[in-house]
Structure 1
Amino acid sequence: MRPSDYLDRLRRKYRAHGDVVLDDQEVLELILFRLKPRGDAKQAAQQLMDRFGTIEAVLNAPIYLLEQTRGVGKSVAFDLKMIATTSQRALKDKVRREPVLSSSRAVIDYCRAMMGCERRELFRILFLGKHHALVGDEVHCHGSESFVSVYPREIVRRALELSASAIILVHNHPSGNLKPSSADIMMTQAILMMTRPMGIELHDHLIVSRNGHASMRALGLI
């Protein structure tokens, strides 16, 4: 079967049934054919899937790793990252449109998209204002593969600057292990002790990875 015939078949499947009939590699093949019509989209998609495992991991991979993947190159890697950025912004817009506490699934999806595939720990804070609307979304600090330094006083100071009435803490575990560490629990309690007297609610502390998420509130740790 000629490559063009194969891609036409994938397009017809998608038009008739939507994305449910296509696996991750087939979706990548259709995207890559648009990005590099003279190249071997099937082979490039296979290389990406072999290296990263899922389409989510592909789109969230560092651009230099995408560039190093055989059959991809700088131009296609840049375009893939722009697709990822567009998706992340769409998820963030969804979080902004509704009261955050009534759209927990959207918050989790957004945080996983932004941080779940990171190779080092990041500590993010969602600041909530009146009616629990999102008034700030900031990366507080960057860490290593297994540790990140957090500064509770800076978190409180920033919350007061934004007139936030509540915050959601988020950090990622690159290892994929979603169980809160003893350091995670101690740090959360330290932040809680500082925010509570200031009238700032610590609503939750989420841990995210490429495989899922954990909520410290749901675990009874807040």
Structure 2
Amino acid sequence: MAELAPHTGHRDRLREKLTSAGGLALHDYELLELYLFRCIPRRDTKPIAKDLIARFGDLGGVASAPIEQLVEVKGVSEKTAAELKLIKALSERLAREQVMGRTVIASWSALINYCRTAMQHATTEEFRVLFLDRKNKLIADEVLGRGTIDHAPVYPREVVKRALAHEASALILVHNHPSGDATPSQADIEMTRSLMEICQPFEIVVHDHLVIGRENTASFKTLGLM
């Protein structure tokens, strides 16, 4: 009988640990190891998992990294990189399910979690609009601007056009700061006020503007900026 590779027993122990104690009992690299087992079946994935975490910081950073950067890590093929992108897709979908069709007031923390899951690790700025109905239920979510590391083009009239198309009564604006600092810039403040003015004749309310940083989230409403 062929002798099992040393990492085979390690995989079984990790699976048992996950089953008996849950994901919180495992380190980030161990969870990543478990995921990589299905992508790289006959190889010790622990060094690869550790190298990925070291390169991109955490699981979110790994899942959000571009494929061309992932394949720079030894042992990661294009196929494996594509599989890793599935982590982010699943995370976003699960987080989105917690907020779609629900009132913002009842699911505010879930809404913040969804925005952070989607945008926290983005390497360029994205401008997202959450569209709400008259009962403040989230009915649509669209990225209306993508740009550079410190700027995403925003066209207020396009935002209003999409709001009318969705028959939305209110909006929540969201964008990220890839620099990591969630502090709103003067340009952010001016754009928000301009958008609020354009929305007013259409009786569309802008409830808040969230800025997603690497570690925290800033709210224009909480900061008294609107």
Asked if residue 29 in structure 1 is aligned to residue 33 in structure 2, the reply is: yes
The match for 1:146 among 146, 150, 172 is 150
Contact 1:57–1:210 (Cα < 8 Å) also in 2: no
Please tell me the residue identity of whatever aligns with 2:54: D
State how far apart, in whole Å, the 2-side matches of 1:18 and 1:190 are. Answer: 48
The 10-residue stretch of structure 1 (131-140 or 161-170) with the greater mean CA deviation from structure 2: 131-140
Alignment of 1:8-87 (within 5 A): 8-87=12-91
Structure 1 alignment gaps of length 5 or more: none
Contact 2:101–2:139 (Cα < 8 Å) also in 1: no
Partner of 2:188: 184
State how far apart, in whole Å, the 2-side matches of 1:190 and 1:85 are. Answer: 33
Contact 1:40–1:71 (Cα < 8 Å) also in 2: no
Asked if residue 211 in structure 1 is aligned to residue 215 in structure 2, the reply is: yes
State how far apart, in whole Å, the 2-side matches of 1:128 and 1:167 are. Answer: 6
Alignment of 1:1-12 (within 5 A): 2-12=6-16
Contact 1:127–1:167 (Cα < 8 Å) also in 2: yes
The 10-residue stretch of structure 1 (109-118 or 170-179) with the greater mean CA deviation from structure 2: 109-118
State how far apart, in whole Å, the 2-side matches of 1:147 and 1:181 are. Answer: 11
Cα deviation, residue 131, structure 1: 1.5
Q: What's the CA shift string for 1:61-105, capped at 9, x where partnerless?
A: 112211222111111111111232122111112111421332111
State how far apart, in whole Å, the 1-side matches of 2:23 and 2:214 are. Answer: 21
Root mean square deviation of aligned Cα: 1.5
Cα deviation, residue 14, structure 1: 1.5
Contact 1:123–1:142 (Cα < 8 Å) also in 2: yes
Please tell me the residue identity of whatever aligns with 2:176: N
Please tell me the residue identity of whatever aligns with 1:129: D
Partner of 1:127: 131
Q: What's the CA shift string for 1:129-170, capped at 9, x where partnerless?
A: 132222221111111111122111221122112110000000
State how far apart, in whole Å, the 2-side matches of 1:90 and 1:128 are. Answer: 20
Taking only the aligned residue pairs, the percentage that are identical comes to 44
Structure 2 alignment gaps of length 5 or more: none
3-state SS, counterpart of residue 160 of structure 1: helix
Asked if residue 163 in structure 1 is aligned to residue 161 in structure 2, the reply is: no
Structure 2 length normalisation: TM-score?
0.93
Structure 1 length normalisation: TM-score?
0.95
3-state SS, counterpart of residue 171 of structure 1: strand
Please tell me the residue identity of whatever aligns with 2:110: A
Asked if residue 175 in structure 1 is aligned to residue 179 in structure 2, the reply is: yes
Contact 2:134–2:170 (Cα < 8 Å) also in 1: no
State how far apart, in whole Å, the 2-side matches of 1:97 and 1:30 are. Answer: 33
